[in-house]
Amino acid sequence: MVYAIVRNGGGQAKVAVGDVIAIDQVEAAEGDTVQLPAVMLVDGDQVKAGADVADVKVDAEVLGSLKGPKVIIQKYKNKTGYKKRQGHRQKYTQVKITGISK
Dihedral angle over CA of 7, 10, 11, 16, nearest 10: -30
Give residue 70's domain range. Answer: 2-101
Q: In a structure prediction context, what are the per-residue pLDDT tens digits for the chain, which is 102 residues long? A: 899 999 988 899 999 999 999 999 999 999 999 999 999 999 989 999 988 898 899 999 999 999 999 999 999 999 999 999 999 999 999 999 999 988
Give residue 1's pLDDT. Answer: 86
Give residue 14's pLDDT. Answer: 95
- Tell me the whole-structure pTM to 2 decimals: 0.82
Give residue 49's pLDDT. Answer: 93
Give residue 100's pLDDT. Answer: 94
Tell me how many domains the chain contains. 1
Report CA-CA distances (Å) from 94 to 32, 66, 75. 12, 7, 32
Parallel/antiparallel/unpaired status of strands 33-43 and 46-49: antiparallel
